[in-house]
Homo-oligomer: A and B are copies of this chain.
Amino acid sequence: MLNIAIIGAGRIGAVHAATVASHPRARLVLVADPFGTNAADVAAKFGARSTTDVADVFAASDVDAVIIGSPTATHVDHIIAAVRAGKAVLCEKPVDLSLERVDACLAAIAGHEDSVMIGFNRRFDPSFAEVHARVLAGEIGALEQLTIISRDPAAPPASYIAGSGGIFRDMTIHDFDTARYFLGDIVSVSAVGQHLDAAIEAAGDFDAAVVTLTAASGAVATIINSRHCASGYDQRLEAFGPRGALEAINHLATSVRYSGAAQTSADGPYLDFFLQRYADAYRLELSEFIDCVTAGAAPSPSILDGRAALILADAATLSARTGETVAVAAAPEPVVSAR
């Protein structure tokens, strides 16, 4: 039984709280959030303690592990504090919007990197995970092309966009991790950004993008993103190799199909939004975290995976601005010594 505290009682924190509370091998003991009654509200629902002082989490002797779901800008500080307090950490993506700060974090926790898991939840989606497992098992031969389509149902408000770090660090970051999960080391990145939404352009960001990643193996991943999708949360991928292809198509609420005068075999909209689409993934991610912490094993995706995805996001940002393909070191090591 692992005793878990949650930092951040917003939307994603509440999801983690529910997931922990219903997990047979975890116990939710503490919820921390500096704002209003957020922590108290979430904690009450699951019979846990609450606090508005995050430092209480690190000081609590009955807390084995911490899930960090607070704003991105606080991730690094909380990771460092948690690791120093001897707690295992599951931190939401991205680690930070700044590679420099990520490297500072790595320097600060040097020797304890294996205490930290990053919440790239899509690796745990049963459909994506099945494609990954079958590719690994050789079912389609060596992976040659990976196509990821990832579109949000609707754009966040411009205020969110402004502090998001841009589409590549905020949204594509998941797809960069998925690409690395399937293809391993990426050696070059080429990106095109689109300005279809004037409000998002005014906020200094792209609202749609296409990114092409070349792997050291010679395989290529294509990522197609949009901040909106009329059909719901469009989350697909296709792995293609010499012996065939494996695709994960969208998930729907039910298996109902309508046929009438104008249309036949019409499914309903895609599950909308990530809390629904990836509900299983959050649960399985937590199980993996608990398994690793319990067994003393290094969790995956690691903080180095978080760093590698950020490097790709930075490269895509640069490529979209310059029109040039950006080379990435094949196995980027954190520049710990440089600090």
Contact = CB atoms under 8 A, between A and B. Distances in A.
Most buried by B among A126, A210, A214, A250: A210
Contacts of A210: 145, 212, 220, 222
A261 B210 CA distance: 23
Nearest to A131: B256
7 contacts: A147-B224, A230-B260, A252-B264, A263-B267, A263-B268, A265-B266, A266-B266
A319 to B, nearest CB: 9
Given A147-B149, A190-B212, A220-B210, A263 B258 contact: yes
B265 A265 contact: yes
A253 interface: yes
Contacts of A253: 126
A16 interface: no
B140 A260 contact: yes
Interface residues of A, number: 67
Interface stretch (A5-13, A175-183, A240-248): A240-248
Contact of A254 (B144, B242, B248): B248
Given A144-B196, A196-B218, A222-B222, A268 B264 contact: yes
Contact of A264 (B140, B188, B219, B267): B267
B265 A261 contact: no
Contacts of A251: 255
Q: How many copies does the complex hold?
A: 4
Contacts of A208: 144-145, 220
A184 interface: no
A131 to B, nearest CB: 6
Given A212-B190, A222-B210, A324-B324, A260 B240 contact: no
Contacts of A195: 218
A164 interface: no
A176 B130 CA distance: 34
Contact of A145 (B139, B224, B246, B255): B224
Contacts of A256: 127, 130-131, 134, 246-248
Contacts of A324: 323-325
Contact of A269 (B224, B263, B268): B263
Given A192-B212, A208-B144, A265-B265, A260 B244 contact: yes
